[in-house]
Amino acid sequence: MPHIRPVLRAFALPAAIFGAGLAAQAQIALPLSANSHAYEASPDVYQLIGEDDHFRVILGRWKPGQSDAWHTHHGDLVNYALTDCKLEGQIPSGQSGAFERKQGEAGFNPKGSIHKVRNAGDGDCVLLIVERK
């Protein structure tokens, strides 16, 4: 079992990028996957592990260089890094940014943020995601 460190960071891109992109998203034509849950848009990356009336538990696993499809999170979420991750995120406005998540770190992502993520590291990136319904 990994050692749990009390480290909390914003999820993917800084909130200013995700938040700023929300207003611009309505003006950009996106694929249908953009309105889908991550596990529906990219079943090769995300696996729905379980859910109840309040939460979904999702495992995200990106191979080196692998990207997920455009998707949105329909509820606020917390993610927990099971491995070290070096990722690049993009929002529909075209803004993008790189970020790292160290094993044992937790981060957050607001509901409604449409984005896609690519593993820019040399190893698998594995995140456990708990999303509020």
Provide the CATH number for the domain around residue 68.
2.60.120.10
Q: Is the pLDDT of residue 60 over 90?
A: yes
Higher pLDDT among residues 112 and 56, named by residue: 56
DSSP state of 63: -
Tens of pLDDT, residue by residue over 86-103, are: 999 999 888 999 999 999
In whole angstroms, give the CA distance from residue 58 to residue 47.
5
* Domain that residue 82 falls in: 8-132
Of 106 and 113, the one with more pLDDT: 106
Q: Would 127 be classed as within a structural domain?
A: yes
Considering the domain boundaries, does residue 2 fall inside one?
A: no
Question: Band of the pLDDT at 24, cuts 50, 70, 90?
Answer: very low
Given a cut of 90, whether residue 21 has pLDDT beyond it is no
Residue 41 inside a domain? The answer is yes
pLDDT-based confidence at residue 28 (cuts at 50, 70, 90): low
Q: Which residues contact 113 (CB under 8 A, 6 or more apart)?
A: 18, 21, 22, 72, 73, 91
Task: Say if 3 falls within a structural domain.
Answer: no
Q: Is residue 83 assigned to a domain?
A: yes
pLDDT, mean over the chain: 83
Q: What is the C-alpha to C-alpha distance for residues 74 and 87, in angstroms, rounded to an integer?
A: 21
Q: Evaluate whether residue 73 is within a structural domain.
A: yes
Our count of domains for the chain comes to: 1
Residue 1 resides in a domain: no
Ordered strands of the 85-90 beta sheet: 71-72, 114-119, 85-90, 96-101
**Whole-prediction pTM:** 0.78
